[in-house]
């Protein structure tokens, strides 16, 4: 599981920080969260196979989270994409996208399904993952997301199975699935004798734009990684909350209360030239905090590890 912070700025893009967008790569598919102006260029600069975007999740309809989407949909078509694409977002999204595609005279080469969110729910689910949403607290309708990998069976101990005479093939598969197996000759094999403990799936929460709220806490609960907005520092907390935003301290307190493992601060105002002030504010509340920069790549490892990948 790989995470790429494509755009980490707030409000307007700058030469140092592009508009909001994050890509999550899982099992060869890419899930895009927000699509600010210039996102397709950031995708091309990254090491991602950007044509593998499977679904896009828009938090809200402010331009710095949304203005890059019509162009990206058109570029997919110019690239002769044929795989279906799912786009989730707030009410009003479909109308804007359809009008934009019509006025630009884009005739898409692939099925594109626009789905407006009606309430907290599971948006996508397969055998290996699910994506859920909760309402956030911004100045307009806004939705946060959590990507959850499903738990994996424990590792099968081949040596123990060989010593016990467990036949190869379907019998071993049934043990991995947690079944007790009785053979025709009367031998009984129990899964706990050959299969290790269940391995917890990894999860990534995406919480922006928002003031601290219950929806953000619900999404972040127990997450391996929480991406949380840090538009301001705490000296502007009153203004931040009035404008539907958070400061670095807010993000750290949400991660701490949610018992998350790692916090990545993003959506950084152009007024902050370095990450020093933001980190100094967040780390006393939550030590495992980093401030993202454009095109940072993070490997989310099993067991709770987060590693910045050298480019």
Active site residues per annotation: 64
Tokens of 49: 């196979």
3-state class of 238 per DSSP?
helix
Burial class of 228 by CB neighbour count within 10 A (0 to 12, 13 to 18, 19+) = buried
Of 295, 17, 67, nearest to 8 (Cα)?
17
CA 45, 46, 48, 50 dihedral sign is: negative
Cα torsion 210, 212, 217, 219 to 10°: value is 10
Question: Is residue 157 classed as helix, strand or coil in its secondary structure?
Answer: coil
**Token output for 106:** 């884009």
**Burial level of 28, CB count in 10 A (0-12/13-18/19+)?**
exposed
Tokens of 69: 């989407």
Closest CA to 76 of 102, 44, 47: 44
Task: Rounding to the nearest 10 degrees, give the CA dihedral for residues 95, 98, 104, 108.
Answer: 160
What whole-number distance in Å separates Cα of residue 249 and Cα of residue 238? Answer: 13
- In three-state form (DSSP H/G/I as H, E/B as E, the rest C), the secondary structure along 63-86 is HHHHCCHHHHHHHHHHCCCCCCEE
The alpha carbons of the chain give a radius of gyration, in whole angstroms, of 22
The Cα 7–Cα 4 span in angstroms is: 9
Residue 306, both tokens: 């987060």
């Amino acid at each position: 599981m790989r995470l790429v912070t494509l755009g980490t700025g707030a409000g307007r893009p700058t030469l140092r920080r592009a508009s909001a967008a994050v890509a999550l790569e899982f099992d060869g598919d890419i899930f895009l969260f927000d699509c600010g102006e210039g996102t397709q260029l950031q995708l091309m600069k990254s090491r991602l196979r950007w044509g593998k975007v499977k679904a896009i999740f828009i938090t809200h309809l402010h331009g710095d989270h949304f203005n890059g989407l019509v162009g990206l949909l058109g570029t997919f078509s110019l690239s002769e994409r044929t795989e279906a694409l799912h786009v989730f977002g707030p009410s009003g999204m479909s109308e804007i996208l359809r009008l934009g595609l019509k006025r630009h005279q884009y005739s898409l080469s692939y099925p594109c399904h626009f789905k407006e969110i009606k309430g907290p729910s599971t948006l996508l689910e397969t055998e290996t993952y699910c994506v859920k949403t909760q309402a956030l607290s911004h100045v307009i309708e806004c939705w946060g997301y959590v990507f959850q990998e499903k738990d994996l069976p424990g590792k099968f101990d081949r040596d123990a199975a060989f010593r016990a005479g467990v036949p190869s093939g379907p019998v071993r598969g049934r043990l991995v699935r947690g079944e007790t197996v009785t053979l025709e000759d009367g031998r009984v094999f129990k899964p706990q004798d050959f299969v290790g403990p269940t391995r917890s799936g990894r999860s990534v929460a995406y919480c922006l734009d928002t003031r601290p709220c219950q929806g953000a806490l619900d999404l972040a609960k127990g997450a391996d990684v929480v991406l949380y907005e840090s538009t301001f520092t705490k000296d502007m907390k009153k203004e931040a909350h009035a404008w539907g935003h958070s400061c670095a301290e807010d993000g750290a307190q949400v991660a701490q209360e949610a018992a998350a493992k790692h916090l990545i601060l993003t959506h950084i105002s152009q007024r902050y030239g370095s990450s020093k002030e933001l980190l100094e504010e967040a780390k006393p509340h939550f030590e495992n905090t980093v401030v993202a920069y454009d095109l940072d790549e993070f490997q989310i490892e099993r067991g709770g590890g987060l590693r910045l990948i050298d480019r």
